[in-house]
């Protein structure tokens, strides 16, 4: 039995005697199931909002059969994982057809009222009270399970909508970045070439006079920094195609740790890699490496001296997915910053370009993956999942 279902059954205190009463009720109530189903759909069609999601007679016929089966299996049990999954599908189905959540309460009330009317007609008053109590507990359990999955699926639809909006924004920014980078690159290259010519002429005429060559050296350094920034723009705007091959992603993670260990030591941060057996996945190794390295580097920069950063790369076989989990015990991501972390050019660092997480998001999306973030004042966890692609 699922933990949620066990908790709800315990909360309403549905005991063995009440389960027995429900089973005894089934043969008495079963001859009335069709009439209850008819009454149920009469109530549906009396409400314009509920009736609007019904497509026609064929759908009603299918739904009536499902309702009769639901009434039967509800009374008979057993209240196990199969019961839970069937009720969960009902909640998900209501989201799919666009049925507003309040109709689940009103619909359950139609069934509840019909049950109680039949029970009071079939049982003596002293026995009816116990059966009614058992039915009320059962229907409360039914409603709790359906509402939970209605909520979960509604939240997932909202997340998908937000991801589509974010993808549209990123696409617009990629187009802008590509045009900007193209326009800047040619004059930038020309400026670097002229600066190199000037530097050589100064050295030939005046020798290694640092007072004369220092300005050109500084200017060349700034142009180099601008070139690196421009390359970041181009990588974000026009990411090259994936070159998918089988790679051990655990080994890629180990290589990232080796590269980032000196920075961690310099900052006095413990950098830990949770070693796992080899995981063979079909990925672009260079881009996978960049995803992991950017996440680890960001975590190191967000963690104070004496802090801790962890990396774990795992696969969940039933999902056929590789998870990259990077955790830190820094101060967390402020609520006002969190919605903007994938925006190009947005950075809270004085020297940041704001391209790191935008590139990570782009590369993860190219792999068909997604990013989930859990943050608090005690630290942040990034969980990146990408398909293992049947490896």
* Tens of pLDDT, residues 370-379: 899 999 999 9
Note the pLDDT of residue 22. 93
Note the pLDDT of residue 313. 94
Check whether residue 122 and residue 176 sit in a common domain: no
Check whether residue 148 and residue 178 sit in a common domain: no
Concatenating the DSSP letter of every residue in 37-94 gives HHHHHHHHHHSHHHHTT---HHHHHHHHHHHHHHHHHHHH---SHHHHHHHHHHHHHH
Looking at the structure of the chain, the number of domains it has is: 3
pLDDT band at 132 (very low <50, low <70, confident <90, very high): very high
Q: Indicate the residue among 210, 237, 264 that finishes a domain.
A: 237
Q: Indicate the residue among 112, 128, 161 that finishes a domain.
A: 161
Q: According to the per-residue pLDDT averaged within each range, which of 77-86, 208-217, 259-268, 360-369 is highest?
A: 259-268
Average pLDDT over the chain, rounded to whole? 82
Among 116-130, 156-170, 352-366, whose mean pLDDT is lowest? 156-170
Q: Is there a contact between 375 and 295 (Cβ–Cβ < 8 Å)?
A: no
Check whether residue 229 and residue 276 sit in a common domain: no
Check whether residue 223 and residue 102 sit in a common domain: no
Note the pLDDT of residue 116. 93
Q: Which residues contact residue 139 at a Cβ distance below 8 angstroms, ignoring those fewer than 6 apart?
A: 74, 108, 111, 112, 115
Check whether residue 140 and residue 171 sit in a common domain: no
Q: Which residues contact residue 23 at a Cβ distance below 8 angstroms, ignoring those fewer than 6 apart?
A: 75, 76, 77
Note the pLDDT of residue 145. 81
Check whether residue 9 and residue 100 sit in a common domain: yes
Q: For residue 312, give both structure tokens.
A: 């774990």
Check whether residue 157 and residue 78 sit in a common domain: yes
Check whether residue 209 and residue 100 sit in a common domain: no
pLDDT band at 171 (very low <50, low <70, confident <90, very high): low
Check whether residue 150 and residue 171 sit in a common domain: no
Q: CA-to-CA distance for 18 and 140, rounded, in angstroms?
A: 14
Note the pLDDT of residue 391. 41
Check whether residue 191 and residue 93 sit in a common domain: no
Residue 22: C-alpha distances to residues 4, 56, 288 (Å): 21, 33, 56
Note the pLDDT of residue 189. 79
Q: For the residues 353-368, what does the mean pLDDT come to?
A: 82
Q: For the residues 275-285, what does the mean pLDDT come to?
A: 90
Q: For the residues 209-213, what does the mean pLDDT come to?
A: 72
Among 55-59, 267-271, 299-303, 325-329, whose mean pLDDT is lowest? 55-59
Check whether residue 118 and residue 213 sit in a common domain: no
Q: State the CATH number of the domain containing residue 145.
A: 1.10.490.10
Nearest CA-CA partner of 265 in 225, 307, 312, 237: 307
Q: State the CATH number of the domain containing residue 359.
A: 3.30.565.10
Summarize pLDDT for 222-247 with one digit per residue, the tens: 888 777 777 766 666 666 678 899 99
Check whether residue 340 and residue 354 sit in a common domain: yes
pLDDT band at 182 (very low <50, low <70, confident <90, very high): low
Reply yes or no on whether the pLDDT at 155 is more than 60: no
Among 60-64, 142-146, 155-159, 363-367, whose mean pLDDT is lowest? 155-159
Domain that holds residue 328: 245-387
Summarize pLDDT for 243-262 with one digit per residue, the tens: 899 999 999 999 999 999 99
The H-assigned helical ranges of the chain are 3-12, 16-29, 33-46, 48-51, 57-76, 81-97, 102-122, 125-206, 210-237, 249-267, 285-302, 356-366
Tell me the β-bridge partners of 383.
325, 372
Q: Indicate the residue among 211, 237, 263 that finishes a domain.
A: 237
């Amino acid at each position: 039995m699922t933990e949620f279902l066990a908790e709800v059954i315990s909360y309403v205190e549905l005991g063995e005697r009440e389960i027995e009463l429900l089973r005894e009720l089934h043969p008495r109530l079963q001859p009335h199931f069709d009439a209850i189903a008819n009454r149920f759909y009469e109530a549906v069609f009396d409400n314009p909002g509920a009736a609007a999601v019904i497509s026609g007679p064929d759908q009603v016929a299918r739904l009536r059969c499902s309702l009769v089966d639901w009434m039967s299996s509800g009374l008979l049990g057993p209240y196990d994982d199969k019961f839970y999954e069937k009720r969960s599908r009902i909640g998900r189905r209501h989201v799919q057809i666009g049925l507003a959540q309040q109709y689940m309460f009103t619909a359950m009330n139609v069934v509840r009222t019909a049950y109680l009317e039949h029970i009071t007609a079939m049982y003596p008053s002293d026995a009816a009270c116990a059966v009614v109590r058992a039915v009320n507990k059962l229907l409360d359990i039914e409603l709790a399970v359906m509402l939970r999955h209605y909520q979960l699926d509604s939240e997932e639809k909202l997340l998908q909508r937000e991801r589509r909006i974010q993808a549209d924004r990123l696409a617009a920014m990629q187009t802008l970045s590509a045009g900007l980078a193209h326009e800047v690159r040619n004059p930038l290259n020309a400026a670097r070439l002229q600066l190199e010519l000037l530097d050589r002429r100064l050295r030939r005429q005046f020798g290694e006079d640092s007072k004369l060559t220092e300005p050109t050296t500084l200017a060349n350094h700034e142009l180099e920094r601008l070139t690196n920034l421009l390359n970041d723009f181009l990588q974000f705007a026009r990411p090259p195609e994936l070159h998918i091959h089988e790679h051990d992603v655990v080994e890629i993670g180990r290589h990232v740790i080796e590269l980032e260990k000196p920075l961690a030591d310099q900052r006095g941060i413990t950098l830990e890699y949770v070693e796992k057996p080899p995981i063979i996945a079909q990925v672009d190794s260079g881009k996978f490496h960049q995803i992991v390295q950017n996440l680890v580097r960001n975590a190191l920069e967000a963690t104070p001296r004496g802090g801790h950063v962890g990396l774990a790369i795992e696969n969940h076989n039933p999902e056929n997915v590789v998870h990259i989990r990077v955790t830190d015990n820094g101060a967390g991501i402020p609520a006002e910053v969190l919605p903007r972390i994938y925006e190009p050019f947005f950075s809270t660092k004085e020297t940041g370009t704001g391209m790191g997480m935008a590139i990570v998001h782009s590369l993860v999306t190219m792999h068909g993956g997604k990013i989930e973030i859990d943050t608090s004042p005690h630290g942040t966890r990034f969980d990146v999942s990408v398909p293992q692609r049947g490896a």
